[in-house]
Amino acid sequence: MRYVRAMKPSRQISRLIEIMSALRTPVTGCPWDLEQDFTTIAPYTIEEAYEVADAIDRGDMDELKIELGDLLLQTVYHARMAQELGLFDFGDVVEAITRKMIRRHPHVFGDENARKTGITKGSWERIKAEEKAELAAAKAASGIQPEVEGSLLDDVPAALPGLMVAVKLQAKAGRVGFDWNDPRAVIAKIREELDEVEAELEHGSQQKQAEEVGDVLFAVANLARHLKLDPEGAVRTANAKFRKRFQYIERHIGQTGKTIESASLDEMEALWQEAKTKA
């Protein structure tokens, strides 16, 4: 078994918090940082999470270290803005996730009986339901009007990437039996949705075409879920493959003294096929 050194609190965390405080200090801070709010920073937070995933996909651990730091900065940034509004600070963020992790892992941090029992899907869902109820009660005590609830799909965040939302919605519905039992049935559904896209090509309604293409993507995400694949990861792999093959075309067209713009489709297609045999 590989020995992993226990992590210890680092002075660097405090230093990072101090740096963010300095950046957000009026007059002496950074003008750009002072202009930002939760809404303007949120896209950067999402972008940094994707860059972490990209470094992992490429197996670049040096880059992963850097990207994880960038993602940590996003957490510090949001916490600082919340602190300025008197809502919470970075310590509260750490305390909240610490409490959640301990509570959700009674088989690790609980008493002897809990450790013997272990964790089950039912107990995991029960713990999450308790947390949700406690959060709702806390909001009510603060005078925050509760959201309208009742749907099994209520806790699927709409702001996540589309394919990720699709998988989460499908998985939720699948828990009550609204699902296919065979991936081949999903493939048949994809073919059906493609036929509907083709039918809409005759009518020329772009809005309807967009709707039908969305149905295709939703069905493809469902196929990935049935195959226990991450559709976001799969499309990132496809993007990387396309990038590598197209750059192969660019490189070889350039070696002939021509530009990619002046190359014919037949030339590019021949090099594409050649690239497929090499990567």
Residue 233 in this model has a pLDDT that exceeds 70: yes
Q: How far is CA 168 from the centre of its chain?
A: 12
Q: Which of 53, 101, 113, 46 is nearest to 74 (CA)?
A: 46
Give tens-digit pLDDT for 67-94.
Answer: 999 999 999 999 999 999 999 999 999 9
Residues 6+ apart with CB under 8 A from 81: 24, 36, 37, 38, 41
Task: Give the whole-angstrom CA distance, residue 151 versus residue 130.
Answer: 17
Give the residue, 47 or 1, on which the prediction is more confident: 47
Q: What is the pLDDT of residue 273?
A: 94
Q: Place 8 in a pLDDT band, splitting at 50, 70 and 90.
A: low
User: Closest Cα partner for 82 from 136, 21, 133, 31?
Assistant: 21
Q: How far apart are CA 249 and CA 251, in angstroms?
A: 5
Structure tokens at 233: 């990861």
Q: What percent of the chain has pLDDT over 90?
A: 63
Q: Where are the alpha helices (DSSP H) in the chain?
A: 11-23, 31-35, 38-58, 61-84, 90-104, 106-109, 112-117, 121-141, 162-174, 183-203, 206-226, 231-255, 265-278
Per-residue pLDDT band at 134 (split at 50, 70, 90): confident
CATH topology for 11-104 is: Helix Hairpins (1.10.287)
CA dist., res. 20 & res. 39, Å (int): 17
Q: Are 265 and 273 in contact (CB under 8 A)?
A: no
Q: Are 243 and 54 in contact (CB under 8 A)?
A: no
Res. 34: pLDDT tops 90: yes
Which of the four pLDDT bands, split at 50, 70 and 90, describes residue 144? low
Mean of pLDDT values over 217-245: 93
3-state secondary structure of 229: coil
Give pLDDT, residue 65. Answer: 96
Residue whose tokens read 């989460």: 168
Structure tokens at 243: 């990038």
The reported pLDDT for the residue numbered 227 is 96
Q: Mind spelling out the 3-state secondary structure of 77-98?
A: HHHHHHHHCCCCCHHHHHHHHH
Share of the chain above pLDDT 70, in %: 89
Contact assessment for residue 156 and residue 174, using Cβ atoms and an 8 Å cutoff:
no
* CA distance linking residue 152 with residue 106, whole number of Å: 25
Query: Mean pLDDT, to the nearest integer, of 185-201?
Result: 95
Exposed (0-12), middle (13-18) or buried (19+): which is 35, by Cβ within 10 Å? Answer: exposed
Mind listing the pLDDT tens digit for each residue in 39-56?
999 999 999 998 998 899
